[in-house]
C-alpha cells in the first residue's frame, strides 16, 4: 500500500492513513481503497485525499504498462496507456511536484488529469489537460469529423489540426509514422548516417506566388511574368496541401516567395489562408515596410524571414542594386525588433567565394542564420561563373572550421558533409534535412500552378491545378527526381547529400545521371584557399 500511495500518506499523516486502510490489510481488492472514501466522508481524512489517492493509483497502473508503438497504425488513435482522471480538488500540482505535507490545504476545483507512457522513450508523462486536449480526445472517442467540430465551435480547421498535432507530439495520441520516406537506393542509411535522415516529418511548399520583383539581380533564374493563380485557385492549392499532409502524416509548411511576394496583390489573403489551415509559414523576399510585417505578425508570425546578400557592400550592390546592402542591414534590425527569426542567403559564385566568411563576421549578432547556395547557371545566371571545384573544396573546409567559431553560420550545401566527414565532425541533414529534398520533402510551385522538383532549375513535375499536390508528388517525373542522381549510387554519404542537381544542370550535364561537378568525396584534402586582397 505504501508503495502505491506515498503522497496521499504523506499528505494525511501516517496515523490517519493507517487507520483508514486498516480494514483492508496490505492488499486491498479494489482500485482505490473504499476506506479512503469512507474515512473522508466521515471527516477522518481530508476530502482531497480521495482524488490524490486516485491519481496515485492510476500512476501506478501507468508505470506497469508496456510502452506503446506507432507501428502499423492507419489512423490517429488514443494512446492505450492513457489514463484520464477527473478530480474535484486541485491536487494535480502537488502530485506532479511531489511536494506534499501533513495538514496541507488544497483548493476545491475541477481538474482533468492525463497520464500515459510516451511512444518515443516509454517514459511516463503527467499533465493537467487543456480544453483543446479534452476536445481532441472526445473527437476521437466519438469519431467526430474535424470539419464538423470546426464549424460547431466557429474556429479555423487549422486550429483543430494544430491541436491534434500537439497531442500527437505529446504522445497521448498516437499518429501513424510519416509516409514521406526514402525508398529504393536511398532507403538504407550507411554506417554513421542516422535513420532520421531517411524520414521527414514535415513537407514544404515553396510557393513563388509572383515573379514580379523590385530588384534586377544579375543571377535571376526567371524574369518571365506568367499569370498568377486567382485567390480562389490559391486557396484550393492550400486545401490540397492540407489533405496531402494529413494523408502523409506530416506537418505542412508554406514558404511564400517570388519574385517578391509582397508585390502580389492578394499576398496577405493567401498568407492568412495558409495560417488558418494550420500551416507553418515563412517568407523569402526583399526588405519591406515595417507596417506590412506587423500586419503579417497579427495573422501569424513567420517562422523565419529570409533575405539575400551577395557579398560585401560593393559586390552585393553590383549584383542587386545600389543601396541594397544598407537597406538589408536596416531591415534585419526591424526583424530583430519584431522578434521574427532572420536568415541571410548568399548565392555563391566564383567572384564572391572569398567574401562569404568576412560577410559572416560582419553579420554576426545581426542575423540568426547565414548560409549560401551555389549558383545554378540558369536564366540570367548562365552568364556568371560558379566557383572552381578545387577552390570550392578548400572553401568548404574553411567554412566547416569557421562554423565552430561563428554561431550564425548555418549548414545547408550538401557537399559540406564531405568536408565534415573528412574532419570527423557530425554529419547534418544536407540542403533540406534529407540530402537533396527535391520532390521528397519539398516542391516548388510557380505562379501559374506548375510544380517543379526544385526552383533553381527546370524540373517540372505537373500542374497542381490539374493534379493537386498529391498528384504531382506521386507523378513518375517527381519520383525520378526523388530518386536523385544515378552518379551517386553506392556513395556512403548519399542519404545526407545526393549532390545538387541544379548546379549539375547549369553546367550542361544531366542532373539525373551526372555526379555533382564540385563533388570531392574520396579525394585528398584540398590546399588552403588563397584569399584575394
Instruction: Transcribe 365-416 into DSSP letters.
Output: TT-SEEEEEEPP--GGGGGS-PPPHHHHHHHHHHHHHHTTT-TTB----TTH
* Residue 514 in domain: no
> Does 466 share its domain with 388?
yes
Confidence of residue 529 (pLDDT cuts 50, 70, 90): very low
Residue 24's domain comprises 6-174
Q: Between residues 103 and 506, which one has the greater pLDDT?
A: 506
> Does 160 share its domain with 255?
no
Confidence of residue 533 (pLDDT cuts 50, 70, 90): very low
* Residue 490 in domain: yes
Mean pLDDT for the stretch of residues 177-190 = 77
Confidence of residue 453 (pLDDT cuts 50, 70, 90): very high
* Cα dihedral sign, 157-159-160-165: positive
Task: Give residue 25's pLDDT.
Answer: 58
The string of pLDDT tens digits covering residues 433-452 is 999 999 999 999 999 999 99
Which of residues 151, 174, 197 is at a domain's end? 174
Confidence of residue 530 (pLDDT cuts 50, 70, 90): very low
> Does 130 share its domain with 225?
no
* Residue 532 in domain: no
Which of residues 123, 142, 174 is at a domain's end? 174
> Does 338 share its domain with 318?
yes
> Does 487 share its domain with 381?
yes
> Does 366 share its domain with 429?
yes
Mean pLDDT for the stretch of residues 191-219 = 90
* Residue 520 in domain: no
- Of the listed ranges 11-20, 142-151, 290-299, the least confidently predicted one is 11-20
> Does 160 share its domain with 214?
no
* Residue 374 in domain: yes
> Does 163 share its domain with 269?
no
Find the CATH number of the domain harbouring 488.
3.20.20.70
* Residue 519 in domain: no
| Residue 287: burial class (beta carbons within 10 Å; 0-12, 13-18, 19+) | buried
> Does 305 share its domain with 340?
yes
The string of pLDDT tens digits covering residues 105-124 is 889 999 999 999 999 999 99
Mean pLDDT for the stretch of residues 72-79 = 95
Mean pLDDT for the stretch of residues 469-494 = 94
Over pLDDT 70: what percentage of the chain?
93
Mean pLDDT for the stretch of residues 293-313 = 98
* Residue 526 in domain: no
| Res 382 pLDDT > 50 | yes
Task: Give residue 13's pLDDT.
Answer: 85
Most confident region among 37-46, 90-99, 264-273 by mean pLDDT: 264-273
| Rounded Cα distance, 96 and 74, in Å | 33
Confidence of residue 186 (pLDDT cuts 50, 70, 90): low
- Of the listed ranges 212-216, 242-246, 302-306, 332-336, the least confidently predicted one is 212-216
Q: How is residue 329 annotated by DSSP?
A: H
Task: Give residue 194's pLDDT.
Answer: 77
| Res 226 pLDDT > 70 | yes
| Res 341 pLDDT > 90 | yes
Which of residues 174, 195, 211 is at a domain's end? 174
| Rounded Cα distance, 254 and 274, in Å | 7
> Does 236 share its domain with 133?
no
| Res 29 pLDDT > 80 | no
Over pLDDT 90: what percentage of the chain?
79
Q: How many independent structural domains does the chain possess? A: 2
> Does 10 share its domain with 68?
yes
* Residue 529 in domain: no
Find the CATH number of the domain harbouring 96.
3.90.930.50
Compute the mean pLDDT over every residue in the chain, rounded to the nearest whole number.
Answer: 92
| Residue 518: burial class (beta carbons within 10 Å; 0-12, 13-18, 19+) | buried
Mean pLDDT for the stretch of residues 26-37 = 59
| Rounded Cα distance, 420 and 427, in Å | 6
Contact between 178 and 200 under an 8 Å Cβ cutoff? The reply is yes
The string of pLDDT tens digits covering residues 231-276 is 999 999 999 999 999 999 999 999 999 999 999 999 999 999 999 9
Tell me the pairing of strands 124-128 and 173-174. unpaired
Task: Give residue 532's pLDDT.
Answer: 33
Task: Give residue 68's pLDDT.
Answer: 96
Mean pLDDT for the stretch of residues 446-472 = 97
Confidence of residue 191 (pLDDT cuts 50, 70, 90): low
| Res 456 pLDDT > 80 | yes
- What are the φ/ψ torsions at residue 433 (nearest 5 degrees)? 90, -10
> Does 119 share its domain with 236?
no
Amino acid at each position: 500500500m505504501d508503495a502505491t500511495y506515498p503522497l496521499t500518506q504523506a499528505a494525511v499523516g501516517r496515523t490517519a492513513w493507517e487507520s483508514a486502510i486498516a480494514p483492508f490489510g496490505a492488499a486491498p481488492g479494489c482500485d482505490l481503497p473504499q476506506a479512503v472514501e469512507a474515512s473522508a466522508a466521515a471527516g477522518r481524512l481530508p476530502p482531497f485525499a480521495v482524488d490524490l489517492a486516485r491519481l496515485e493509483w492510476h500512476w501506478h497502473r501507468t508505470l506497469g504498462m508496456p510502452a506503446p508503438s506507432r507501428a502499423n497504425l492507419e489512423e490517429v488513435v488514443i494512446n492505450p496507456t492513457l489514463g484520464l482522471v477527473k478530480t474535484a480538488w486541485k491536487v494535480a500540482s502537488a502530485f506532479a511536484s511531489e511536494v506534499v505535507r501533513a495538514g496541507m490545504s488544497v483548493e476545491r476545483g475541477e481538474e482533468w488529469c492525463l497520464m500515459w507512457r510516451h511512444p518515443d522513450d516509454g517514459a511516463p508523462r503527467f499533465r493537467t489537460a487543456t480544453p483543446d486536449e479534452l476536445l481532441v480526445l472526445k473527437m476521437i472517442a466519438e469519431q467526430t469529423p474535424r470539419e464538423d467540430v470546426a464549424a460547431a465551435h466557429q474556429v479555423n480547421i487549422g486550429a483543430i489540426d494544430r491541436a491534434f498535432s500537439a497531442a500527437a507530439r505529446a504522445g497521448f495520441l498516437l499518429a501513424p509514422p510519416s509516409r514521406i520516406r526514402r525508398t529504393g537506393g536511398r532507403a538504407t542509411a550507411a554506417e554513421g548516417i542516422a535513420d532520421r535522415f531517411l524520414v521527414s516529418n514535415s513537407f514544404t511548399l515553396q510557393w513563388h506566388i509572383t515573379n514580379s520583383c523590385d530588384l534586377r539581380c544579375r543571377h535571376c533564374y526567371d524574369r518571365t511574368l506568367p499569370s498568377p493563380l486567382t485567390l480562389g485557385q490559391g486557396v484550393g492549392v492550400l486545401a490540397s496541401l492540407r489533405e496531402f499532409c494529413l494523408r502523409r502524416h506530416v506537418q505542412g509548411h508554406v514558404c511564400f516567395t517570388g519574385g517578391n511576394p509582397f508585390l502580389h496583390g492578394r499576398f496577405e489573403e493567401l498568407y492568412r489562408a495558409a495560417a488558418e489551415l494550420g500551416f507553418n509559414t515563412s517568407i523569402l523576399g526583399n526588405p519591406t515596410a515595417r507596417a506590412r510585417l506587423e500586419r503579417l505578425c497579427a495573422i501569424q508570425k513567420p517562422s523565419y524571414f529570409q533575405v539575400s546578400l551577395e557579398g560585401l557592400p560593393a559586390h552585393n550592390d553590383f549584383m542587386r542594386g545600389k543601396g541594397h546592402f544598407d537597406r538589408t542591414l536596416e531591415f534585419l534590425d526591424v526583424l530583430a525588433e519584431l522578434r521574427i527569426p532572420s536568415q541571410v542567403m548568399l548565392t555563391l559564385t566564383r567572384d564572391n567565394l572569398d567574401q562569404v566568411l568576412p560577410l559572416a563576421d560582419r553579420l554576426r549578432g545581426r542575423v540568426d542564420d547565414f548560409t549560401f547556395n551555389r549558383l545554378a547557371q540558369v536564366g540570367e545566371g548562365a552568364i556568371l561563373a560558379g566557383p572552381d571545384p578545387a577552390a570550392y573544396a578548400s572553401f568548404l573546409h574553411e567554412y566547416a572550421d569557421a562554423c565552430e567559431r561563428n554561431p550564425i553560420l548555418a549548414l545547408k550545401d550538401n557537399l559540406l558533409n564531405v568536408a565534415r566527414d573528412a574532419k570527423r565532425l557530425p554529419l547534418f541533414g544536407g540542403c533540406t534535412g534529407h540530402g537533396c529534398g527535391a520532390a521528397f520533402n519539398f516542391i516548388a510551385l510557380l505562379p501559374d500552378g506548375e510544380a517543379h522538383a526544385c526552383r533553381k532549375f527546370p524540373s517540372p513535375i505537373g500542374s497542381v491545378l490539374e493534379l493537386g499536390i498529391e498528384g504531382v508528388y506521386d507523378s513518375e517525373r517527381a519520383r525520378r527526381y526523388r530518386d536523385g542522381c544515378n552518379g551517386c549510387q553506392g556513395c556512403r554519404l548519399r542519404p545526407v547529400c545526393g549532390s545538387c542537381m541544379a548546379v549539375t544542370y547549369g553546367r550542361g550535364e544531366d542532373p539525373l545521371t551526372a555526379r555533382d561537378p564540385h563533388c570531392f568525396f574520396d579525394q585528398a584534402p584540398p590546399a588552403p584557399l588563397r584569399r584575394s586582397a
